[in-house]
Amino acid sequence: MLRHVIAPLRHFSQISNEILRHPRLSSDAVRILTWQLSLPPGAEESLSRTATRAGIGKGAFNRAKAQLKGEGFVHEWRQQGLRGLWSTVQLVSSVPLTAEEALAVRNGRPTAAVRDECPTAACPAAGEPKGRAAGRHPEKTPVGNTSTPPPPAVPAPESDCEARELIAGITALDPRLAVPRGMVPQLVALASEWLVLGHTADDVRGRVRRGLPGRERTIHRPGGLLRYLLSEPEAVTPPVAPPPASPPPRLTAMRECAGPHHVQPMLFAPEGDEELCAMCREASPLGESAAVAATARGAAAVRAGLSGQRTAARH
């Protein structure tokens, strides 16, 4: 016979071999007993509940319970409470106990078998059992208002306030938009999303105005229409500034004339480093003599032409 056993590191219970190899306990009885001993402290699971979870039928459970009670691993007492209600107290032990020992364990007085199993003086706890304090009436009547105070008011964001005012005055945009009161919070949340993304109240009204049907048509569900129009808001696209106007390539090579003879600025194409246009250069002292000479030559030519015309008329 080969065996491969790995000791568990967690989620395990210490069960004695006397229980696992007990000759007079059936497999169902051992299953119920080990299940009960593996429950955490304070668990109030009954034997019948354990049998149900373990998949043990009613008949098999009754036989297993009788075996456990006969061997001293299970003890039961019927007791009546303060209000006359009867209840069953069950005691499950990892060692066989007599009726007197089980009664001592129930009343908080450890027996020799229990002291051998748990040598500390505090196991089980000493003292008489007491009734539960829950459910009793208070000894003194409380004074004042004992109701639960309302939660502190949290100021709503500015966008929510503006959105609430926007939805409240939506009928001014169109009297057909009489929204049911139950849909106001939902529409306020949708309008607030538009405002958070950077839209203004006028942008929201414009969106609603563009989606309204003609004046001759009746809006049967104004709340649903507003919910459709305000759903999926788009982010505001910032305006793109136009690029600065660049002067034409032809004007980049021109220069403004610095002469005093122009009423408005005069641009000219310089041939070198000159700062005066051609007219101002001619009007300069050097340019004036040249202009006078040219004028004289022109006047002489005109006079010569006129004298020649007279001579030809005489002949």
pLDDT digits (tens, 9 = 90+) for 134-177: 555 556 666 666 666 666 555 556 668 888 888 988 888 888 98
Question: What is the rounded average pLDDT of the residues 239-268?
Answer: 70
Q: Pairing mode, if any, of strands 267-268 and 255-256? A: antiparallel
pLDDT digits (tens, 9 = 90+) for 95-119: 999 988 988 888 876 555 545 554 4
Half-sphere exposure of 42 (CA within 13 A, CB side): 0
In Å, how far are 62, 258, 269, 270, 276 from 273, measured between CA atoms? 124, 12, 11, 7, 9
Instruction: Identify the residue with better confidence: 247 or 303.
Output: 303
Q: Which amino acid is at 276?
A: L
Residues with Cβ within 8 Å of residue 39, at least 6 apart in sequence: 45
| pLDDT at residue 93 is higher than 70 | yes
